[in-house]
Structure 1
Amino acid sequence: MTTAKRALKKYFGYDHFRPLQEEVIKSVLQGEDALVIMPTGGGKSICYQIPALIMEGVTVVVSPLIALMKDQVEGLHANGVDAAFLNSSQSAKQQADVMERITEGSIKLLYVSPEKLLSHEFYYLLLQLKVNLFAIDEAHCISVWGHDFRPEYAKMAYLKKQFPHVPVIALTATADNLTQKDIVNQLGLVNPKKFNSSFDRPNLSLNVAPGKDKFKTILGFLRQRPHQAGIIYCLSRKATEGLSEKLKNAGVNASYYHAGLSAEERARRQEDFINDEVPIICATIAFGMGIDKSNVRWVIHYNLPRNIESYYQEIGRAGRDGLKADTLLFYSFSDVIVHRKFIEESAQKEVSHAKLERIQQFCDAQICRRKILLNYFGEHLEENCNNCDVCKNPPRVFDGTIIAQKAFSAIVRLKEKVPAGILIDVIRGSSRQEILSKGYQKIKTYGVGKDIAHQDWQQYMLQLLNLGFISVAYDEGNALKLTAQGREVLFGERLVNLVHLASMKSDPEVKPILKTGKQEAREGLFEALRKLRLQISREENIPPYLVFSDASLQEMAQEEPTSEFEMKLISGVGVRKYQLYGDLFINEIVEFGQKKNQEAKKSGESFYQTYEYYKQGFSVEEIASIRKINPVTIYSHLASLYEKGADIDLTEYLNSSELEQIEDAYRSLNETGNVKDLYLFMKEEVEYYKIRLGISYLKVLSSS
């Protein structure tokens, strides 16, 4: 593992492995099969790339999409690793060249499609190579329960039969228990080690909004996130085209992507998005699995996803670099109807309907949304996340332990074999023929909950499900099962808080955080570094994030490294990256600092002169006349000085009515601080300079 850590620093610029990576790598180096469930952005690739770099021979990586292979190989090349891919996008000569390099032993990682892996030609090539590992990426595609079933994946069990001594590692971002079992069986893995990384992505904010005024909401969302890259997922091709057109008409640089476009056009649009030429893409779910873009800052679901697995996989494309990212899901019953129609035309109807119901429950829930997601994947979160719309606008709760115990006792007495509907009928003492014919009226908990309405029991059961006290066995007729946490409640070892049904509400208020001068300066440096990165990426014809990730740029903006030693301490700056770009970014940081110092000195001198005249009792008009400066500029000086703590009375220039009017507009526009927006919002009734003074007054008031 010492060698592994050296390789991690040398090639990828990281000092430490992320959670579970080290354990997975140890298992692979010991020759064991493994199943790795690790969320998008959790660092799955490192789990097989590091072993490939330090073991003798070649690692074969099976990847479902050409774009994904291309991104992975380009990323490895940027880090100084010799890797290649074989797929249908290459000419016969290109493939022959790759095969020659493989047989020479110069390639450490070879990416192939499942179709290529299953070809006779490739099988004979494998017999000539020293293969040290097979890595199956996006392994959920193997399973019929997975959301992107791929028939070729189901034939890969031959790997263990033909190469029994070569370890196989299967990796995916999302897989419930059914899918995990299926992956192991389909691949024929031998006593695989299972690694379930935490599904918690605390950097992602989770928000659900009603499906009304969607376009207006999106424009407001984008206005608060200028220059950020994001994906808007739509249910239909027509919706992607229509929304993209509306955004462009509103002055937003956006494009669309769906399977109806030609392969060449899809590739071009994807490249434009990856290379930051078009920051926003409106897409169907055909878009995303092949995107290895680390600086996607937000994901919007214009329509309801078909299940929680899809939702989690898609929001996982935001914030892969670990920085703050936002998600927004629009929820409407019309989307549910469309999904139900699709399900009726497909296989696996019962399971698909149940999973659609769970994503509905997620949207309707009034408890921490992160708890619901983690519980769905078998992970329990004790505390609320404080980074979802429900946590930020919490409903009232009460001690619901007795209610929970009644339900849990009935589940146990019914031997965990009935779905929620029957359970509620039993608890409420229903005399339906189905209940009586099975003798359910004889169990001790029959009728113990008749004082609670049926629809209220449904809501409480939903909360208990989302809290992780019960689970649903989809392959057993949706039977309810009691979890370990649920048993603790049943036996009086744990209390349960439930949400008062009357307190459930929607349309949460979002309050953005005010930025300090230091934060604004850091963001200015980040933007300068981002522009330099974009310039380099265009010159070298590679995606910007392959130069440096947003996370690396943020750390540079924070730490301001100005030497080789300091730059190599930045996460993501390995040996090769420093050789290529280190000096360029150090120079940019130094120049930015010099420029800011000059501006600050010049600005400070001007502000100081204004303040000296103000303290002497001169009016704004007199100061402007003396200094030969526009009075509006003098007001701006006073506003800035006030924010910095200067002893200035801004109410001298604003009456209480004007200040109240500015405050109402400021709050209505989510405290954006944009003078022009406020001016237009107030129908041009309050002068610009007064709005500027009012904003400064409110900022200081909020921070005090």
Structure 2
Amino acid sequence: MAEKSEDRCERVARDVLGLEELRPGQLEAMAALADGRDTLAVMPTGAGKSAIYQVPALLLKGPTLVVSPLIALQRDQVEALRERDEEAVSLDATTSAGKRASSFESLRAGETEFLFCAPEQLARQDVVRELAAAKPSLLVVDEAHCVSAWGHDFRPDYLRLGAVAEALGHPVIAALTATAAPPVRAEIVEGLGMRDPLQVVRGFDRANIRLEVRRSDGDGVEQVAEAVGELDVPGLVYAGTRRRTGELAGRLVAGGVRAAAYHAGLRRAERDAVQEAFMAGEVDVVVATSAFGMGIDKPDVRFVVHAQVPGSLDSYYQEIGRAGRDGEPAAGVLFYREEDLGLQRFFTGALPDEQTLARVAEAVRDGGRADRKRLRERLDLTARRLTSLLNLLEKAGAVKLGTRTVTWSGQEPAEAARAARAVAERHRDIERTRLEMMRRYAEQRDCRRVFLLGYFGEQLAEPCGNCDTCRAGTAAERNGVEEGPFPMHARVEHTVWGPGEVIRRDQDRLTVLFRDGGYRELLLSAVLEEGLMRELRSDAPDRV
């Protein structure tokens, strides 16, 4: 009798990786990949996402391509694999031509199992051609939320990966991320061209992190400094602007705290020095913009303080998830004032103008099958800007994106520009509903964890007991999920907003995530009395 995939994965995990016991969700994801099924795994950092792809990689015939946005993290993973006698290489802009050639040669010869690279490398046609010749059996996309315009760390370079997968012959795809609400998961699947993927969603509940919201007065600098003084170090403070990171870091240093500022405006050497000092315990508090954190695995971070409200619960939960990875008590403190929402609304308000979209559309049409580099030079646009505009045009059905070329669909440029602008407006409106959910969380009197997990499509029936509302007693009134029509995860259709999914159900109201309308809170009585919504009878996608 043939050995089952689950048994093979357990054996390899034990014998090669030394894992005697697998964590919830790991085995299901491993076995699906080993069976050749595309898989999206949403698990917190530290939950063993690397093992999810490393085990099936050793069972599938052919090399494994791992796409990761962080060069430092790639090198760490290469080192860890080599320590286990697994051949692995990384490829980035600093890799010499000779090293590139030898890496691809060993990949084709079957001598190297793992090749790590950043998505920018896959914009190079020679790289894609060499990889296609090596016939990879597994394509791993780490930090997969970056592919989604819904995501809190959207990166246009990730938009090429669906075309790259096709150019490589569509190997099995493993998409991995620590945080992805339902719309982000849907866009990951679409953007990567995943086929009938298994979705393994686990571990949103970080019960050891105490959740707290404090009202902020004025600029909040003194309040944040006072809060940091009450908390155990090391910790992180997130601020909305570069200027504010400097102000807060300066105030903490003046108060005797070993603190440093970190933001994208600093020189690379300065950023690296701050990160290294924090990891080594020489700096106790890093005050940063959202530029800091991805790939940082420091288990003993005791707190994450947000000095200003972030733009979504996605980014908020990703950032507080950097606390307490050792399982010990930690704190996530959010300073909130309604005025700060205006800054975030400003960030989500920018829209591309139709004239620029039309210029791009005309250039693609005139080129027939246009080369990205020539388009960039002709239009005088940055690579990032051009990629974003082309993505909108693709979503509007005007172009088809390849790894290097763009193909015209036949629409009139002016019509394509209007349609693409409408796509951008819809995304903006949806982003603003996410900001509204952030406001709802901050002003919540019910259990904050119940609300937060509901946003990600997870159900916690009882108050958590480890947030400020639970401790204040205001969350005690909730008695689990109410029974009745439109239960949690029910597929629904609204007369205005179309299809959606119930992500939270209270006694008198529903929170529904609509595909085209974003997050909406509805009064249950109005829905029932006016017949605004009906429940659909359909099977949900696979979810473990």
| TM-score, reference length from structure 1 | 0.56
Q: Kindly report which structure 2 residues correspond to 1:8-23, keeping only aligned pairs within 5 A, or say none.
A: 8-9=13-14, 13-23=18-28
CA-to-aligned-CA distance 1:292-311 (integer Å, 9 cap, x gap): 33333321111101011111
Say whether the 8 Å CA contact 1:62–1:117 is kept in structure 2.
no
Instruction: Tell me how far apart the structure 1 counterparts of residues 477 and 208 of structure 2 sit (CA, whole Å).
Output: 29
Instruction: Tell me how far apart the structure 1 counterparts of residues 296 and 31 of structure 2 sit (CA, whole Å).
Output: 28
1:367 aligns with 2:446: yes
Equivalent position of 1:471 in the other structure = 512
Instruction: Tell me how far apart the structure 2 counterparts of residues 80 and 218 of structure 1 sit (CA, whole Å).
Output: 47
| One of 128, 136, 159 as aligned partner of 1:131 | 136
1:392 aligns with 2:454: no
| One of 297, 319, 333 as aligned partner of 1:314 | 319
CA-to-aligned-CA distance 1:52-95 (integer Å, 9 cap, x gap): 24444321111122233234334445566543311124444554
Q: Kindly report which structure 2 residues correspond to 1:75-94, keeping only aligned pairs within 5 A, or say none.
A: 75-77=80-82, 81-94=86-99
Q: Secondary structure at the match of 2:66?
A: strand
CA-to-aligned-CA distance 1:287-326 (integer Å, 9 cap, x gap): 1123233333321111101011111111112223433322
Distance verdict in 2 for CA 1:278–1:84, change over 3 Å: farther
Instruction: Tell me how far apart the structure 1 counterparts of residues 265 and 41 of structure 2 sit (CA, whole Å).
Output: 33
Q: Kindly report which structure 2 residues correspond to 1:50-69, keeping only aligned pairs within 5 A, or say none.
A: 50-69=55-74
1:352 aligns with 2:431: yes
Say whether the 8 Å CA contact 1:234–1:302 is kept in structure 2.
yes
Superposition deviation, residue 224 in structure 1: 5.2
Structure having the higher strand fraction is 2
1:28 aligns with 2:33: yes
Superposition deviation, residue 168 in structure 1: 0.7
Q: What letter matches 1:245 in structure 2?
A: G
Q: Kindly report which structure 2 residues correspond to 1:183-262, keeping only aligned pairs within 5 A, or say none.
A: 183-212=188-217, 214-219=220-225, 221-223=227-229, 225-226=231-232, 228-262=233-267
Instruction: Tell me how far apart the structure 2 counterparts of residues 464 and 482 of structure 1 sit (CA, whole Å).
Output: 10
Q: Which moved more, 1:9-18 or 1:245-254?
A: 9-18
Structure 1: segments with no counterpart, 5+ residues: 420-461, 491-704
Say whether the 8 Å CA contact 1:376–1:466 is kept in structure 2.
no
Q: Kindly report which structure 2 residues correspond to 1:409-428, keeping only aligned pairs within 5 A, or say none.
A: 416-417=494-495
Instruction: Tell me how far apart the structure 2 counterparts of residues 222 and 275 of structure 1 sit (CA, whole Å).
Output: 20
1:287 aligns with 2:281: no
Q: What letter matches 1:364 in structure 2?
A: E
Equivalent position of 2:118 in the other structure = 113
Q: What letter matches 1:117 in structure 2?
A: L
Q: What letter matches 1:314 in structure 2?
A: E
Superposition deviation, residue 101 in structure 1: 4.6
Superposition deviation, residue 114 in structure 1: 1.1
Instruction: Tell me how far apart the structure 2 counterparts of residues 220 and 163 of structure 1 sit (CA, whole Å).
Output: 54
Equivalent position of 2:403 in the other structure = none
Distance verdict in 2 for CA 1:415–1:155, change over 3 Å: closer
- Aligned residue pairs total 439
Say whether the 8 Å CA contact 1:138–1:173 is kept in structure 2.
yes
Q: Secondary structure at the match of 1:296?
A: coil
Distance verdict in 2 for CA 1:147–1:310, change over 3 Å: same
| One of 319, 330, 337 as aligned partner of 1:332 | 337
CA-to-aligned-CA distance 1:147-195 (integer Å, 9 cap, x gap): 2222221122224423446211112222222222222222211111122
1:173 aligns with 2:173: no
Distance verdict in 2 for CA 1:82–1:180, change over 3 Å: same
Q: What letter matches 1:86 in structure 2?
A: L
Say whether the 8 Å CA contact 1:365–1:463 is kept in structure 2.
no
Superposition deviation, residue 381 in structure 1: 0.8
4+ runs deviating over 6 angstroms: 465-468
Say whether the 8 Å CA contact 1:36–1:170 is kept in structure 2.
yes
Say whether the 8 Å CA contact 2:10–2:27 is kept in structure 1.
no
Say whether the 8 Å CA contact 2:504–2:512 is kept in structure 1.
no
Q: Secondary structure at the match of 1:156?
A: helix
Say whether the 8 Å CA contact 1:63–1:69 is kept in structure 2.
yes
Superposition deviation, residue 20 in structure 1: 0.6
Equivalent position of 2:356 in the other structure = none
Equivalent position of 1:305 in the other structure = 310
Say whether the 8 Å CA contact 1:372–1:467 is kept in structure 2.
no
Equivalent position of 2:156 in the other structure = 151
Superposition deviation, residue 386 in structure 1: 1.2
1:377 aligns with 2:456: yes
Structure 2: segments with no counterpart, 5+ residues: 1-5, 352-423, 498-502, 532-544
Q: Kindly report which structure 2 residues correspond to 1:534-549, keeping only aligned pairs within 5 A, or say none.
A: none
| TM-score, reference length from structure 2 | 0.72
Superposition deviation, residue 109 in structure 1: 2.2
Instruction: Tell me how far apart the structure 1 counterparts of residues 150 and 504 of structure 2 sit (CA, whole Å).
Output: 25
Equivalent position of 1:656 in the other structure = none
Equivalent position of 2:187 in the other structure = 182
Instruction: Tell me how far apart the structure 2 counterparts of residues 399 and 272 of structure 1 sit (CA, whole Å).
Output: 44
Distance verdict in 2 for CA 1:322–1:364, change over 3 Å: same
Instruction: Tell me how far apart the structure 1 counterparts of residues 476 and 323 of structure 2 sit (CA, whole Å).
Output: 32
Q: What letter matches 1:169 in structure 2?
A: A
Q: Which moved more, 1:213-222 or 1:263-272?
A: 213-222
Distance verdict in 2 for CA 1:479–1:331, change over 3 Å: closer
Instruction: Tell me how far apart the structure 2 counterparts of residues 160 and 363 of structure 1 sit (CA, whole Å).
Output: 40
Say whether the 8 Å CA contact 1:256–1:282 is kept in structure 2.
yes
Q: Secondary structure at the match of 1:41?
A: coil
Larger Rg: 1
Q: Which moved more, 1:135-144 or 1:124-133?
A: 124-133
Superposition deviation, residue 34 in structure 1: 1.4
Distance verdict in 2 for CA 1:115–1:218, change over 3 Å: same
Say whether the 8 Å CA contact 1:208–1:330 is kept in structure 2.
yes
Instruction: Tell me how far apart the structure 1 counterparts of residues 17 and 509 of structure 2 sit (CA, whole Å).
Output: 37
Instruction: Tell me how far apart the structure 2 counterparts of residues 101 and 399 of structure 1 sit (CA, whole Å).
Output: 60
Q: What letter matches 2:350 in structure 1?
A: E
Superposition deviation, residue 50 in structure 1: 2.1
Equivalent position of 2:166 in the other structure = 161
Distance verdict in 2 for CA 1:132–1:155, change over 3 Å: same
Structure having the higher helix fraction is 1
Superposition deviation, residue 135 in structure 1: 0.7
Q: What letter matches 2:307 in structure 1?
A: Y
Q: Secondary structure at the match of 1:157?
A: helix
Q: What letter matches 2:20 in structure 1?
A: D
Q: What is the RMSD of the two structures over their aligned residues, measured on CA atoms?
A: 3.6
Instruction: Tell me how far apart the structure 2 counterparts of residues 76 and 220 of structure 1 sit (CA, whole Å).
Output: 44
Sequence identity, in percent? 37
Equivalent position of 1:266 in the other structure = 271
Distance verdict in 2 for CA 1:299–1:92, change over 3 Å: farther
Instruction: Tell me how far apart the structure 2 counterparts of residues 62 and 74 of structure 1 sit (CA, whole Å).
Output: 16
Say whether the 8 Å CA contact 1:418–1:480 is kept in structure 2.
no
Instruction: Tell me how far apart the structure 2 counterparts of residues 108 and 277 of structure 1 sit (CA, whole Å).
Output: 37
